[in-house]
Structure 1
Amino acid sequence: MNDNNPYQPPQADVKPPPVPVGNLTLLAEPRALSAGAGLSWLADSWALVKSNLVVWVLITLALFAIQFVLGIVPVVGDIVSSLIGPVLTGGILMGVRAITAGDALRFEHLFAGFKENFAPLLGLGALTLGIFILFGIIIGGAFVGMNMDLMQGELSRPEDLLSGVNTGLIAVGVILLLLVMMLFWFATQLVALNNVPVFQALSMSFKACLRNPLALIVYSLLLLLLLILGVIPLLLGLLVVVPWIFASMYVSYRQIFLK
Structure 2
Amino acid sequence: MEELELHLADMPNKCSAGDGLTWVRAAWGLFKRRWGTWMLMVLVMFLLTALSSAVWSFWAMSMSPQAMPVMLFLSSSAGTLLGTFLAGGMLVAAASLAEEDDLRFIYLFAGFQYKFMPLLVLGVLLMLLSLLLSLLLLALLPESWLRGGVWLLIYAWPMWFCGVFAVSLVVLHDVAPHRAIGMSIRACLRNWLPILVSGFVWLLLVLGVSIVMILLSVGLGAVLGKAAGLLFFPVVLALLAVMLLFNYTCYRNVWTNLPMQ
Normalised by the length of structure 2, the TM-score is 0.75
- Pair 239,226 (structure 1): closer, same or farther in 2 beyond 3 Å: same
Match of 1:108 in 2: 106
State how far apart, in whole Å, the 2-side matches of 1:139 and 1:206 are: 19
Gap change, CA 1:46 and 1:180, over 3 Å in 2: closer
- Give the equivalent residue in structure 2 for 1:128: 126
Q: Does residue 97 of structure 2 align to residue 99 of structure 1?
A: yes
**Percent identity between the aligned chains?**
29
Q: Distance in 1 between matches of 2:172 and 2:138?
A: 36
- 1:191 paired to 2:189: no
**Relative to structure 1, is the Cα distance of residues 181 and 247 closer, same or farther in structure 2, using a 3 angstrom cutoff?**
closer
**Aligned partners of 1:93 and 1:174: how far apart in 2?**
26
How far apart, in 2, do the equivalents of 1:250 and 1:177 lie? 19
Higher RCO structure (Cα 8 Å, ≥6 apart):
2
Q: Partners in 2 of 1:247 and 1:177 — Cα distance?
A: 19
Of 19, 31, 44 in structure 2, the residue corresponding to residue 37 of structure 1 is 19
Are residue 53 (structure 1) and residue 42 (structure 2) matched? no
The equivalent residue for 1:178 is: 157
- Is the CA contact 2:49–2:82 (under 8 Å) kept in the aligned structure 1? no
Q: Report the alpha carbon displacement of residue 235 of structure 1 after superposing the two structures with TM.
A: 4.2
How far the C-alpha of 1:170 sits from its partner, in A, is 5.9
Larger radius of gyration: 1
Corresponding residue for 2:78?
A: 80
Instruction: Structure 2 unaligned segments of length 5 or more: list them.
Output: 58-71, 214-231
* 1:214 paired residue among 170, 181, 193: 193
**Structure 2: distance between partners of 1:77 and 1:138:** 20
What RMSD, in angstroms, separates the aligned Cα atoms of the two structures?
A: 2.5
The amino acid across from 2:87 in the alignment is T
TM-score, length of structure 1 as denominator length: 0.75
Q: Evaluate the alpha carbon distance shift between residue 119 and residue 140 of structure 1 in structure 2; reply closer, same or farther with a 3 A threshold.
A: same
Query: How far, CA to CA, are the matches of 2:153 and 2:28 in structure 1?
Result: 31
Provide the residue aligned with 2:116 in structure 1.
118
| 2:44 maps to which of 62, 74, 80 | 62
* Paired residues of 1:229 and 1:237 also in contact (CA < 8 A): no
Change (3 A) 1:49 1:178: closer
State the alpha-carbon separation in 2 of the partners of residues 181 and 42 from structure 1: 16
Distance 1:77 1:176, change over 3 A: closer
CA distance in 2, matches of 1:49, 1:70: 27
Say if 1:186 and 1:51 are closer, same or farther in 2 by CA, change over 3 A: same
In structure 2, the partner of 1:24 is: 6
Structure having the larger proportion of residues in helix: 2
Which ranges of 4 or more aligned residues in structure 1 deviate by more than 6 Å? none
Between the aligned partners of 2:181 and 2:156, the Cα distance in structure 1 is 15
* In structure 1, C-alpha distance between the alignment counterparts of 2:47 and 2:209, rounded to whole Å: 18
Paired residues of 2:92 and 2:171 also in contact (CA < 8 A): yes
Residues 239-258 of structure 1: matches in 2 within 5 Å? Answer: 239-258=237-256
Structure 1 residue runs without a partner (length 5+): 1-21, 147-160
- SS of 1:26's partner is coil
Indicate if the aligned counterparts of 2:134 and 2:155 stay in contact, CA closer than 8 A.
no
Letter in 2 for 1:180: M
Q: Deviations over 1:92-135 (max 9, x none)?
A: 11000010123321111110100112111111111111122223
Distance 1:118 1:132 in 2: 21
Read off the aligned partner of 2:243 and give its amino acid letter: I
